[in-house]
Structure 1
């Protein structure tokens, strides 16, 4: 049964995308809203059935494995399109398909009045299909196909409203930056293929050995993952990607794209364990990213950009966990992050829609009374993002990462703890500015069931989903770690009561400070405009540096070479051809007697030459 259903998990959204694309936008709106979410819903049903079957009757080999076809067979190298379902890909499959389905149901209402809704759902379903191929692939070449698929779909969706120049530029920026990472990943895969002779993941993990080539390969793979997950120094594309529709932001940040790098490193964990230098680099990159992104989130005025920087910061926590060897901690935070980040983007989308597409938090305020349901859903996601103790899923996953960071380095632990404080601060700054205080705008309409039901489900998961894995001091539930132990081995017991108490108090202090600074008041607050805050708001100047070092020199070089010698030669050839065509055109007068005269003259000349 698994061999038949596993390909169907990918086939349903892929078929939905093909149908919608072939319709060329002519499909009725209601049919589009049925096929888009429906195809992903069928995929989610298959995923749930497979999960039930897998957990109730685990295969003897430890995984379902399906070979679809052999792709390449060359001397010394072979590649195939094969799918594999083990405990890790099972978790990712459920996250992508189920969270993706909820987002598409929400999107059916959010995009209801958009003229290009058919094209939108064609891209969204292709996005889900590509991510499912990535997480279910048993061969790194097939994984790379899914990797490129999500990159293409992100470009198409970020620039979905391409009629506005800024949207097109944001899409181009996302594509170019992530392509740099894709090139690094491709070179890394080439090194592995050269060393091992195959890209079959189990074979690679069993035959790899420590050495300079392995370290180089791991660093290249890490570079590819960092670009996909918007880690420093490749983070500049993600805030601008907010140009796309809000459901696109929810899908990219919660269930697809940015988590691909985390999954890839976790999938190849044995390979990365053979390169301790790469592991330390991964932990440092994660720590730097979570701190810089949290600082930027503190200064934003756009509600979606706050959430974008928070995604970068939370991904930094995942990379810190990966660098510490806490594979279960990274995947656990990936899962809880999918719950509350999808919820937060849905809540932000509902606010934006009812505020006439206003995204500036300083032009909102007092929305708790106008949209109480959206407020409580957003509050549930905010509590989880801030990691408030015992009442949020984010608390348990973040505590697991903090304890493992202490085990690797107290300095990294302090960095992660500082990030947790800033997370609580900027999260509830967003809550207080948007929903409390003086009303600075008028909300219209209401939030329909198609948007409210997915938000309600995710709110429950954001609060209670963390109880799959709790510290020893709070019940010691190890359901999630035990599920993944066949892939990663038993989870190390780290931490202690003291670390747990500190990690629990810090988010509470952050929320209290946020209340002190941005508590509801009659006066309309104004965004801070200190020079340091301006630098933080501008992504710490990374865009300016890249423009100065790379973009402007590139355009200058292009301008200088616009009229070089080769251009003059080609222009000369063009001038000759154009002049000749003009002469020949004048000969075509359309008068038969003139044509007959030319024929006669030509005949006389030919006879004279012959004689």
Structure 2
């Protein structure tokens, strides 16, 4: 059963990818969708079995690598941590596969798209069921490859190609750190198998080794290197720049990659390696600070974006920050709980945004929407469910998971914990504000999509690159049933997953559920302390969510002139947020331009002038030059040739005579 969960999507990807012409569009869609649905059903059976007290176990598939002390098997590790990820990945993937049948109806390359989706799903499943770090790295790189293919699916668009390359390159930076971390673990433990690493971790608690010429604490260094990998994959501050650009891919890709699966791989990896992180408190402090800073940063940027998908993308970046600082304060159960609930409501928001884009004939600029509530009522209602869950409004899922994350940050009682609590609370207010802004701009107010509508929404006056004629002459329409059914499934998860999972993930049943999958070697039970924080700490996230939503209603419904006034009054801050803290410009100045300059120097001077000049081009030039000079002798006069023969004969006789006498 476990092998079927993992390999059914791979089989479907092969059939759709290589047999697309035989299967046809519908055949490829049917094969891939059915395979992932079966995997989802089996995943739920597995999860229920584990949640009911079933033992964790490992299923060995085959012997993989046996070189020296490196002995690896290709095995599937089934415990509460991997079972949670299985239901998240397969459920969202199944919804996305079904949704794509309707969304990609007009695309000529449906089999290729469905094959990429299934390939991505296989790689993600391989990652979360890995029993060793090399197998995890295989899945890690696999999802990177599949995301490159999916983001650049519309390869005819230069912007899609650039976004795919950017995602690939930025992730390689993080992956290099992850690879170094794996090397360090093998050097320290002489193994990359999880069981061997975790069992030997306490014995290596105070170990040191030489890294970059310095003697450093081994566990801290290894965990920081692993976290660099997590930062790249999960778009944390510094390695986040690829995430918003990845919206160039089709909307189902955004929902699959950037809501529930690939971007959560870093969070999963940190939780999986929790026995090591618990022995590296300095590394946990870094995780906490980076996560909290990311949550705050992304929320500030989400306030001013006008592309509906980019707003949700920055929301994803911000929520990933919450998960990381939960892990950083040793509340790994809270991190996984928020990962699970976030998967449902964020996938709902992305697919809901896709429904809006479908209704607007591919328009993504919220300034060119408005008044859609009466035209796409079902999508409107479902988007509100996702929005309220994201804002942490009860009884929706985000209320339960976001609250316990913030309560854990406060309960840890450290400076880093308080830092995370303060920034997380402010980010909760901004999250509610920009979520309300998205909903009100899109669905409320006067329509801005008619032929005579005013497209210049005063406070957002920058060009976004969309064609102005996209659907403006058409009345928006509701999405077909094949697109709405996945939304209902995800909406159900966004409503009930928080209430149903609370006790199991972070409540009284957490120790029974998690077992040995999550470590608490420090002895500080953050989640237990989180349940006993002051009442104002428990109420603050809710107050932030309600006030943020209320303020967005004032700005975008009651007094729509206010955003323009605020943007004008605080022009510097507005532009700072609008330009995403100028990270792209900074990286362009520090890394891209010098790299281009160096590349051109090595190309023009090094390769062209020196290597080619002294090598093939130089030899060719010498040959041509000598040939031209020798060709001058070909005059066509017989006496010239006779004179040359005479000179040659004299030279030959002279050489012979001199050589004999010598």
TM-score relative to the length of structure 1 = 0.89
Q: Tell me the distance in 2 between the aligned counterparts of 1:304 and 1:123.
A: 21
1:136 aligns with 2:132: no
Q: Contact (CA 8 Å) 2:503, 2:510: kept in 1 or not?
A: no
Give the aligned partner of residue 500 of structure 1. 538
Give the aligned partner of residue 594 of structure 1. none
List aligned pairs for 1:381-392, cutoff 5 A: 381-388=386-393, 390-392=394-396
How has the CA–CA distance of structure 1 residues 75 and 370 changed in structure 2, closer, same or farther, with 3 Å as cutoff? Answer: same
Cα deviation for residue 560 of structure 1 reads 2.2
Q: Contact (CA 8 Å) 1:467, 1:477: kept in 2 or not?
A: no
Cα deviation for residue 428 of structure 1 reads 0.3
List aligned pairs for 1:103-142, cutoff 5 A: 103-142=96-135
SS in structure 2 opposite 1:493? Answer: helix
Q: Tell me the distance in 2 between the aligned counterparts of 1:386 and 1:118.
A: 37
List aligned pairs for 1:197-212, cutoff 5 A: 197-208=190-201, 209-211=204-206, 212=217
List aligned pairs for 1:274-293, cutoff 5 A: 274-293=279-298
How has the CA–CA distance of structure 1 residues 439 and 399 changed in structure 2, closer, same or farther, with 3 Å as cutoff? Answer: same
Cα deviation for residue 118 of structure 1 reads 0.8
SS in structure 1 opposite 2:106? Answer: coil
Cα deviation for residue 195 of structure 1 reads 1.0
1:460 aligns with 2:492: yes
Q: Tell me the distance in 2 between the aligned counterparts of 1:285 and 1:213.
A: 21
TM-score relative to the length of structure 2 = 0.83
Q: How many residues align?
A: 571
1:121-149 CA-to-partner distances (Å, cap 9, x unmatched) read: 11100000000010011111101100000
Q: Tell me the distance in 2 between the aligned counterparts of 1:383 and 1:306.
A: 15
Give the aligned partner of residue 399 of structure 1. 403
Give the aligned partner of residue 431 of structure 1. 439
Give the aligned partner of residue 596 of structure 1. none
1:37 aligns with 2:33: yes
Could you tell me which of 413, 420, 429 is aligned with 2:421?
413
Q: Contact (CA 8 Å) 2:345, 2:389: kept in 1 or not?
A: yes
Cα deviation for residue 423 of structure 1 reads 0.6
1:522-568 CA-to-partner distances (Å, cap 9, x unmatched) read: 88986946232222122211111110011011111222232331131
Could you tell me which of 215, 221, 241 is aligned with 1:216?
221
1:242-275 CA-to-partner distances (Å, cap 9, x unmatched) read: 0000000000122211000000010110110110
How has the CA–CA distance of structure 1 residues 346 and 480 changed in structure 2, closer, same or farther, with 3 Å as cutoff? Answer: farther
List aligned pairs for 1:319-334, cutoff 5 A: 319-334=324-339
SS in structure 1 opposite 2:373? Answer: helix
Q: Tell me the distance in 2 between the aligned counterparts of 1:578 and 1:25.
A: 53
1:538 aligns with 2:579: yes
Cα deviation for residue 479 of structure 1 reads 5.0
In structure 2, list runs of 5 or more residues that go unmatched. 207-216, 450-473, 629-662
Give the aligned partner of residue 602 of structure 1. none
Q: Tell me the distance in 1 between the aligned counterparts of 2:219 and 2:563.
A: 54
Aligned alpha-carbon RMSD (Å): 2.3
1:518 aligns with 2:518: no
SS in structure 2 opposite 1:150? Answer: helix
Q: Tell me the distance in 1 between the aligned counterparts of 2:328 and 2:372.
A: 41
Q: Tell me the distance in 1 between the aligned counterparts of 2:582 and 2:145.
A: 27
List aligned pairs for 1:94-105, cutoff 5 A: 94-105=87-98
Larger Rg, first or second structure (1 or 2): 2
Q: Contact (CA 8 Å) 2:174, 2:233: kept in 1 or not?
A: yes
SS in structure 2 opposite 1:519? Answer: helix
How has the CA–CA distance of structure 1 residues 522 and 223 changed in structure 2, closer, same or farther, with 3 Å as cutoff? Answer: closer
Could you tell me which of 43, 55, 65 is aligned with 1:72?
65
SS in structure 2 opposite 1:299? Answer: coil
Q: Tell me the distance in 2 between the aligned counterparts of 1:214 and 1:31.
A: 50
How has the CA–CA distance of structure 1 residues 457 and 210 changed in structure 2, closer, same or farther, with 3 Å as cutoff? Answer: same
Could you tell me which of 54, 76, 81 is aligned with 1:83?
76
Q: Tell me the distance in 2 between the aligned counterparts of 1:43 and 1:574.
A: 63
SS in structure 2 opposite 1:73? Answer: strand
How has the CA–CA distance of structure 1 residues 479 and 339 changed in structure 2, closer, same or farther, with 3 Å as cutoff? Answer: farther
SS in structure 2 opposite 1:138? Answer: coil
Cα deviation for residue 515 of structure 1 reads 1.0
SS in structure 1 opposite 2:60? Answer: strand
SS in structure 2 opposite 1:367? Answer: coil
How has the CA–CA distance of structure 1 residues 375 and 279 changed in structure 2, closer, same or farther, with 3 Å as cutoff? Answer: same
Q: Contact (CA 8 Å) 2:247, 2:313: kept in 1 or not?
A: yes
1:236 aligns with 2:241: yes
1:453-512 CA-to-partner distances (Å, cap 9, x unmatched) read: 11011112212221035599xxx9645664224423674232232211222211111111
Cα deviation for residue 576 of structure 1 reads 6.9
SS in structure 1 opposite 2:422? Answer: helix
Q: Tell me the distance in 2 between the aligned counterparts of 1:376 and 1:13.
A: 32
Q: Tell me the distance in 2 between the aligned counterparts of 1:146 and 1:544.
A: 32
Q: Tell me the distance in 2 between the aligned counterparts of 1:392 and 1:558.
A: 52
Give the aligned partner of residue 147 of structure 2. 154
Q: Tell me the distance in 2 between the aligned counterparts of 1:205 and 1:329.
A: 21
Q: Contact (CA 8 Å) 1:367, 1:443: kept in 2 or not?
A: no
Q: Tell me the distance in 2 between the aligned counterparts of 1:546 and 1:82.
A: 40
How has the CA–CA distance of structure 1 residues 39 and 53 changed in structure 2, closer, same or farther, with 3 Å as cutoff? Answer: same
How has the CA–CA distance of structure 1 residues 485 and 417 changed in structure 2, closer, same or farther, with 3 Å as cutoff? Answer: farther
